[in-house]
Amino acid sequence: MRVAMTYLRLPEAEGGGDPGAVARSVFGRKGWQHNHAVLPIAGTWQGLHYLITGDPWEGPHPAADVVCGGRLLTEDGAEEFGVDVIYLAPQRVKPAADHLAATDFRQIAGRYDPKQMARLGVQGADDWISKPVEAVRDRDLRTAYENLVGFFKAAADEGQAIYKAMG
């Protein structure tokens, strides 16, 4: 099963500043994606993380915070919301945004090797092997990366937290 990711940015004060309360109030409602500033990156999330960090799951900070970093708010699974929710505090959003702003896509594009990524278990890479580089790296991953740069910049400029919904 493929896992998709959607980013949501919110003011820190929403929900009284308690990330768990925010998750319950936002993700507990149907249609939450339509009422907030969101960025869906679908199944490209792990490929992006790999390009940004050079690792499928880990990596140096603040780069690792862009996709996989943050605090998991759904410790007992995603039954309550239908998605797992990861919280990234504004204090971590700003360094991640600065890292993205300082890192042009061309600097990380060289890591794109779908065969190696598939060997490492990066979601989607097994499908990318048979597709032209222009279709995946130069279009899908570049577009998602550029959207992330803008999304993180907006959140950092406004002092917002980022919530990542995976499911």
Question: What digits encode the pLDDT tens for the residues 118-155?
Answer: 999 999 999 999 999 999 999 999 999 999 999 999 99
Q: How many domains does the chain have?
A: 1
Q: Which residues pair with 46 in a beta bridge?
A: none
**Closest residue by Cα to residue 67 from 83, 55, 81, 80:** 55
Q: Kindly report the backbone phi and psi dihedral angles of residue 161, in degrees, each rounded to the nearest multiple of 5, phi listed first.
A: -90, 160
SS3 label, residue 145: helix
User: What range does the domain containing 153 cover?
Assistant: 5-166
What pLDDT does 23 receive?
Answer: 83
Task: Take residue 22 and report the two structure tokens written for it.
Answer: 């925010």
What pLDDT does 40 receive?
Answer: 95
What pLDDT does 82 receive?
Answer: 81
**The pTM is what?**
0.93
CATH code, 34: 3.40.1760.10
What pLDDT does 14 receive?
Answer: 63
Whole-angstrom Cα distance, residue 65 to residue 86?
10
**In the chain, which residues have pLDDT < 50?**
none
